[in-house]
Amino acid sequence: MRILYVCHRFPYPPKRGGKIRPFNMIRHLASSHEVTVASLARSREEAAEAAGIAPFCAGYHVATVRSPVQWARMLATLPTPITASASYFHSAELARTIRRLLRERRFDLVFVHCSSVAHYVADVRDVPKILDFGDMDSQKWLEYARYRPFPLSLGYRWEGMKLLAEEKRLARRFDLCTATTRAEWETLEGYRTGAATDWFPNGVDSAYFAPAAEPYEPDTISFVGRMDYYPNQECMFDFCRNTLPLLRARRPHLQLLIVGADPSPAVRRLGELPGVTVTGSVPDVRPYLARSALTVAPLNIARGTQNKILEAMAAGVPVVTSRVAAGGVDAADGEHFLVAGTPAEYRDAILRILEDPGERRRLSQASRARMLSHHAWEKSMQRLDRIVERTLSTHRPAAGAHAQSAVDVTRA
């Protein structure tokens, strides 16, 4: 079977959340099918790295875009019904490439990851199509509006409402739509578009993220995540302001490692606080996990699965997380991780682990076992195979339908 796979961030190397899921799908599908990848890179360096995907697919096409141009394109659409997300991830070069590929060869399936690039193939009618929303982005933008000051909050709410309308429109143009978690799938189902829907979870490479042999540091905790991402920034500002002082009052030598690429100046200033280290980009997060008695994921804004939680649990590092972030992981509070909501609850949960090595050992073993049983890529990809089979068996092309060209962003 020939598959055209379109995604918004070039899925190699798979070092961040937006790349890990599509890369694992491509690798799996390419083991049995001929997969052609079409995606975007934001720099010459990223485009050069993209060549690493060659062993995992039949072919790939990358269009390089420049951030200033994409930001200008996005800003120009803000007053219009067109979503800023689709504008930011639009490339005339990629549209031409997809149009050419659809014209020159017969694909048996078009698979799109992320609604931001679904407009490239929204009008294709004679090929079965799956749209993997992953997370329902509209809900995330609407949540951002609660945390941004006025008048920025109005802009985020406007984009969220536009995205909501676009998600509903796109769902009707694909044979089947998927999400990352049951909760995201329920949101998608709640749109009542009449589209067929399903979900399959993210997995984790439990061989790569394996428990370390060296001992951990009893007074070191960590947060791992890209620090140019607003939900990560916001939760660290909140945690350092409200929870960290409570912890250091009980354990004055407590150290917090904030590990993640591209921290903003405001995030870097957190490193001036007693006991806080902001690392910036690191070649490998595993040594920082190995040092940690536990990791925290106190996100106030979270959709879908937080890969940072899966990776820590696979590495046997206990996790203390917010309720909203816990919702994307197939695990139980108190059994596989600890869930908290207020600064006092975070303090108590963290101290419960720091002050009881036996409890830490129990959570370490239970969390890794849960990742092996419920968040293995192999099992997730078996669900994906069934979704593909379902799509192929139910596709009914419209009478006289033919492959359409990639749409212009002004119509997306």
Angstrom CA distances, 149 to 84, 153, 203, 342, stand at 19, 6, 36, 22
Burial (Cβ within 10 Å: 0-12, 13-18, ≥19) of residue 313: buried
pLDDT surpassing 90 at residue 120: yes
How many Cα neighbours within 13 Å face the side chain of 229? Answer: 18
Q: Cα(44)–Cα(9) distance, rounded to whole angstroms?
A: 14
pLDDT at position 403 is: 45
Q: List, for residues 275-321, the tens digit of each pLDDT value.
A: 999 999 999 999 999 999 999 999 999 888 899 999 999 999 999 99
Q: Cα(319)–Cα(369) distance, rounded to whole angstroms?
A: 14
Q: Cα(6)–Cα(79) distance, rounded to whole angstroms?
A: 28
Could you identify the residue written with the tokens 């036996």?
358
Q: Cα(342)–Cα(352) distance, rounded to whole angstroms?
A: 15
pLDDT band of 15, cuts 50, 70, 90 = confident
Helix 377-394 vs helix 17-30: crossing angle, to nearest 10:
70
Mean pLDDT of 378-397: 94
pLDDT at position 22 is: 97
Nearest CA among 270, 275, 282 for reference residue 236 = 270
Mean pLDDT of 237-264: 97
Question: Mean pLDDT across the chain, nearest whole number?
Answer: 93
pLDDT surpassing 80 at residue 122: yes
pLDDT surpassing 70 at residue 54: yes
pLDDT at position 408 is: 45
pLDDT surpassing 60 at residue 191: yes
Q: List, for residues 396-408, the tens digit of each pLDDT value.
A: 766 544 444 444 4
- The domains of the chain, with CATH numbers, are 2-203+377-399 (3.40.50.2000), 217-374 (3.40.50.2000)
Which H/E stretch holds residue 199? Answer: strand 196-199
How many Cα neighbours within 13 Å face the side chain of 384? Answer: 26
pLDDT at position 409 is: 46
Lowest-pLDDT range, 17-26, 59-68, 399-408?
399-408
pLDDT band of 378, cuts 50, 70, 90 = very high
Q: Are strands 319-322 and 338-340 parallel, antiparallel or unpaired?
A: parallel
Q: Are strands 196-199 and 255-259 parallel, antiparallel or unpaired?
A: unpaired
Residues 6+ apart with CB under 8 A from 394: 175, 176, 196
The pTM assigned to this predicted structure is 0.89
Angstrom CA distances, 281 to 76, 223, 227, stand at 32, 13, 9
Which H/E stretch holds residue 397? Answer: none
pLDDT at position 398 is: 62
Q: Cα 172 to chain center, whole Å?
A: 23
Q: Cα(26)–Cα(51) distance, rounded to whole angstroms?
A: 14
Q: Cα(253)–Cα(251) distance, rounded to whole angstroms?
A: 6
Could you identify the residue written with the tokens 């293995």?
376
Percentage of residues in the chain having pLDDT higher than 70: 96
Could you identify the residue written with the tokens 């995330």?
140
Q: Are 17 and 310 in contact (CB under 8 A)?
A: no
Q: List, for residues 344-361, the tens digit of each pLDDT value.
A: 999 999 999 999 999 999
Lowest-pLDDT range, 65-74, 108-117, 260-269?
65-74
Q: List, for residues 131-174, the tens digit of each pLDDT value.
A: 999 999 999 999 999 988 888 899 989 999 999 999 999 999 99
Instruction: Please count the other Cβ atoms lying within 10 Å of the Cβ belonging to residue 339.
Output: 21
How many Cα neighbours within 13 Å face the side chain of 304? Answer: 26
Q: Are 338 and 368 in contact (CB under 8 A)?
A: no
Mean pLDDT of 261-282: 97
pLDDT at position 396 is: 78
pLDDT surpassing 80 at residue 411: no
Q: Are 117 and 4 in contact (CB under 8 A)?
A: no
pLDDT surpassing 90 at residue 34: yes
pLDDT surpassing 50 at residue 248: yes
